[in-house]
């Protein structure tokens, strides 16, 4: 029978440990602050920003929301980010993506100070993660690793297959698994015989952005399935019911990787606040 990897309970434990750290900072007249930037009026992005803000407030953190008009230029967005970089009361900066097509998203990401890149979106942050000393790895990859560790699931020596190669999910989680001595295969939309490759995996990370893409008969009996997808209808990137039959452990959607991703964002912001106070 498959073990259900309950991300909600993992996230709750992370937040519980953050509580005393936040109170200690507040006692020293420092309130950990996450600034979120939303450009335009995408309804899904607005929902995600609201969820992150609510999560901050529940822990006593400050959530500062910057909502910019759809017509905002790359230069104007970068200027807003630089203002937040210079604001000593802001400890983490999150640019909600995607941004409108006319904006150079990479240029905006690169404007974020490495000390406040709590979502792990800069190339410097990515490089530090690749070398194994990144302070704030991308939050979803960090969540995946945290869940594996929370359930004491072995990584070293295992064959991990990552489906997806985005710079904030597929690529960083591949490197994080590699740094933990897994043998990693990265797959994508051009990969041939994908099902055969997945069948060889001890750990499957689904981050392809397609609902129920990974089929049950792709999963080797006993494999660990980490579903990092979230699609309309509250479904992930794996066919959960079908994969459940073979998987040794699997994350549900919702209440799997998602809650831990937000918890890692909060943790990184608190980490950043503590580091700024120690300087």
Catalytic residue among 6, 117, 119, 202: 119
Beta-bridge mates of residue 257: none
Distance of CA 7 to the CA centre of its chain: 13
Tokens found for residue 34: 């996450």
Dump the DSSP string for 191-221: -TTHHHHHTT-SEEEE-SS-TT-B-GGGSPT
Tell me if residue 96 is catalytic.
yes
How are beta strands 33-39 and 62-68 bridged, if at all?
parallel
Q: Is 119 a catalytic residue?
A: yes
Q: How far is residue 124's CA from residue 10's CA, in Å, rounded to a whole number?
A: 28
Can the peptide bond before residue 98 be classed as cis, meaning omega within 30 degrees of 0? yes
Out of 6, 15, 96, 171, pick the active-site residue: 96
Tell me if residue 220 is catalytic.
Answer: no
Closest CA to 198 of 151, 243, 140, 146: 243
- The residues annotated as belonging to the active site are 52, 96, 119
């Amino acid at each position: 029978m498959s073990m259900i990897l309950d991300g909600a309970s993992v996230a709750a434990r992370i937040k519980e440990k953050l509580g005393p750290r936040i109170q200690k900072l507040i006692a020293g007249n420092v309130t950990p602050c996450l600034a979120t930037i939303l450009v335009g009026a995408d309804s899904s992005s607005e929902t995600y920003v609201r969820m992150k803000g609510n999560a901050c407030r529940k822990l006593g953190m400050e959530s500062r929301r910057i909502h910019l008009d759809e017509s905002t230029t790359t230069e104007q967005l970068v200027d807003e980010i630089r203002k937040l970089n210079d604001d000593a009361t802001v400890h983490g900066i999150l640019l909600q993506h995607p941004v409108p097509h006319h904006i150079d998203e990479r240029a905006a990401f690169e404007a974020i100070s490495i000390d406040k890149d709590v979502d792990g979106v800069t190339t410097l942050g990515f490089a530090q993660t690749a070398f194994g000393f990144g302070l704030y790895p991308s939050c979803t990859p960090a969540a995946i690793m945290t869940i594996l560790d929370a359930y004491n699931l072995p990584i070293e020596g295992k064959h991990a297959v990552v489906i997806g190669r985005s710079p904030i999910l597929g690529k960083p989680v591949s490197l994080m698994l590699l740094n933990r001595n897994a043998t990693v295969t990265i797959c994508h939309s051009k990969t041939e015989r994908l099902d055969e490759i997945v069948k060889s995996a001890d750990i499957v990370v689904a981050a392809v952005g397609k609902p129920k893409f990974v089929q049950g008969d792709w999963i080797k009996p006993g494999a660990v399935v980490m579903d990092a997808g979230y699609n309309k209808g509250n479904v992930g990137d794996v066919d959960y019911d079908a994969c459940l039959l073979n998987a040794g452990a699997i994350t549900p959607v919702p209440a799997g990787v998602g809650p831990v991703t937000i918890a890692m964002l909060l943790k990184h912001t608190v980490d950043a606040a503590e580091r700024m106070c120690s300087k």
